[in-house]
Structure 1
Amino acid sequence: MDRLKGKVAIITGAAKGLGAADARLFVAEGARVILTDVDDAAGSALAAELGDGAQYQHLDVTSEAAWEALIADVVARHGRLDVLVNNAGIVEFGDPETLTEDTYRKIMAVSLDGVVFGTKHAIPAMAANGGGAIVNMASIAAIQGEPTFAAYSAAKGAIDAYTRATAAYSIKNGRGVRANSVLPAGIDTPMVQSLGGKLAALGAAAPVHDNATAMNRLGEPVDVANLVLFLASDESRFINGQSHVIDDGASVIAGSTVPRTDR
């Protein structure tokens, strides 16, 4: 308990899935958490469930103006910003030959632009109080080729690279902000559960799900949230600019990054 006591954190995409799991742990560990999403009903319900340690605010992560307003409001209300978890993201299928412009731009806007704009406005807010921690949600799709969702892989690879750029900038300019990325494999979230139907719509077979090995085994949201909590806390104060793969070994054995969901 109290691993984040006194800290103020923003989590994007917090209404469900990985973001909701992060929010639950952060509140339990003493943080004041601002849950953000575009799903206002789910986000508000989760904030109410979590109690006084949480509040919900609508945020379109693709809008720099919305980011600027959110962070200014958080600092005005709470006096500081210590942690930013850039978790918001979407996945749509499309290989390098069939990917549409609309799909590509939508994925990059939500996943990558959100990280860029959030980071830009979080750094000075954090630096004003001596620093903080940014945790960016990438994916093993960033490092393991996956032909059926090329734009998603590109966005996650860019997020991983941008994390290192952020860490280097902060170090060289004395901003005191650590930045690390998390690269999960398939996790049992609503987004991942939707992949089977999307693959079927494309006429593609879902990959083999093998509970006997690490290949394509679904993790639980709390598995990732535990790592995010560590990277957000002072326990990881000497970890900066690093990529953290969390996949139960899936990336070191043969197999697709897309798990089956018909368990």
Structure 2
Amino acid sequence: MPLDQGPMYTDTPLAVIPTPMYETGEVSKILAAHVKIDLMTRTDIPIQKDAFTLEASKMALSHNAFIRGFNSIYQQAPRVPAPDKADFVGYCIAWHDCVDAHHRYEETAFIPNVNKAAGQTGLMDAAIEEHALFHDGMERFKAYLVKEGADFAPASLLAIMASFMAELHAHLAAEPASIVALARHSTPERPVDILAIADAAARSQIRLGLVFNALPVFYLNMNHAEFEGGMWDGVFPSFRGTGRALLTRGIPLWHARRWRFASCSPEGRVKRLAF
């Protein structure tokens, strides 16, 4: 099947989730300060009053990239021709590694630092417990692909994915609200700068191997130009111009044949799938 003739990506079997910011429609100056946009020229962007709602929305957008990655694998697995299966396996493993890195970021950097800032413990233990519910399924997914490689059986791969997709989606849908709820633990006496904590935690997790071998599966499953009316385009991810080109076109030149299986174009629009 020619690359420009595959079916259009759809949000199935997992539905994408709304951002708390979009759901509340609240407006204030905090997002303008955070992303340095000119509100006089971006009146289409509803700006929320609460940093926790903003961080929760960024988490929801990240989770949607994982959801679209899952869906793109699920939809294409039965159709990938034999000559393209090795590249597809590389894409699948990159998706696993990207999601795994995200949860490692939460458990080892983000959540511990939120607890430290608030002077409490266990504030997001429920999220960590949810990780455990689909961890084994995701490990079976990767182990099967590593073992079988291009000889994987589509039905077997889909069966493994089906075994953990409900728990994965439930977690991805629930976690943003738990970040919004953290606001009650930030007080004038002990403020929690959730945006700074998340940014520092993310930077601490960056590894060169992750950037070239997994990160494209994140950025190329971002529908930022269309999702929620395009209000996130240039806001999250916050890059524009050269930065956007580097992350969506430059870095993906490494293992280029893998990333054609993604659901979105470098411009952040859903596209026809490779197969």
Q: Taking structure 2 as the reference length, what is the TM-score of the superposition?
A: 0.30
The structure with more helix, counted as a fraction of residues: 2
Greater share of strand: 1
Higher-Rg structure is 2
Structure with bigger RCO (C-alpha 8 Å, 6+ apart): 2
TM-score (norm 1): 0.30
